[in-house]
Amino acid sequence: MNIVINAKLKDFLQKNKFEKVFLIRGKRAGLYMFPKKEWLQMGKKLRQQLGSKAASDLLDTLIKGTNEIDLKKHGFMRIPIPAYLVKWSGLKKNVVGVCCPEMITFFPDKSCLPENKGSPLIIEGIVS
């Protein structure tokens, strides 16, 4: 399954350097997508804050559950989603994305959107 990238999302991805990205399970339903640089910085900060070997091992387990995707390789036309993430996310035919420079959150529909504090870019798209 893929999220089809429309012109509005493509412009956002290229402007904010979302070329290589990490796609992970969202907190509730949905998916989070981070640019590689942001994802690696978050991992480094967490390791420093956690400190202990057990906490670091837990972080390594979480990181292994992510999928690195090269959007440039796909021509910024689609975001491939592994089957287990499709099942978790609840994505069917439509998708709503909340876009911030450091991440994008994809939801199955507008009813899943959190209360908006600020003005992130909201995109609507399709899943094929």
At 73-88, the pLDDT tens digits run: 998 899 999 888 888 8
- Does residue 52 fall inside a structural domain? no
Section 10-32 average pLDDT:
88
- Does residue 56 fall inside a structural domain? no
Classify residue 11 as exposed, middle or buried by CB count within 10 Å of its CB (0-12, 13-18, 19+).
Answer: middle
> In the chain, how many domains are there?
1
- Does residue 59 fall inside a structural domain? no
- Does residue 12 fall inside a structural domain? yes
Section 24-45 average pLDDT:
85
Section 6-31 average pLDDT:
89
- Does residue 28 fall inside a structural domain? yes
Instruction: Please tell me the predicted confidence (pLDDT) of residue 47.
Output: 73
Instruction: Please tell me the predicted confidence (pLDDT) of residue 63.
Output: 66
Asked if 2 and 126 count as a contact pair (C-beta separation under 8 A), the reply is: no
Enclosing domain of residue 111:
2-36+68-126
- Does residue 63 fall inside a structural domain? no
- Does residue 46 fall inside a structural domain? no
Specify the DSSP element, H or E, that contains 68.
strand 67-70
pTM equals 0.83
Instruction: Please tell me the predicted confidence (pLDDT) of residue 49.
Output: 75
- Does residue 103 fall inside a structural domain? yes
> What is the average pLDDT score of the chain?
83
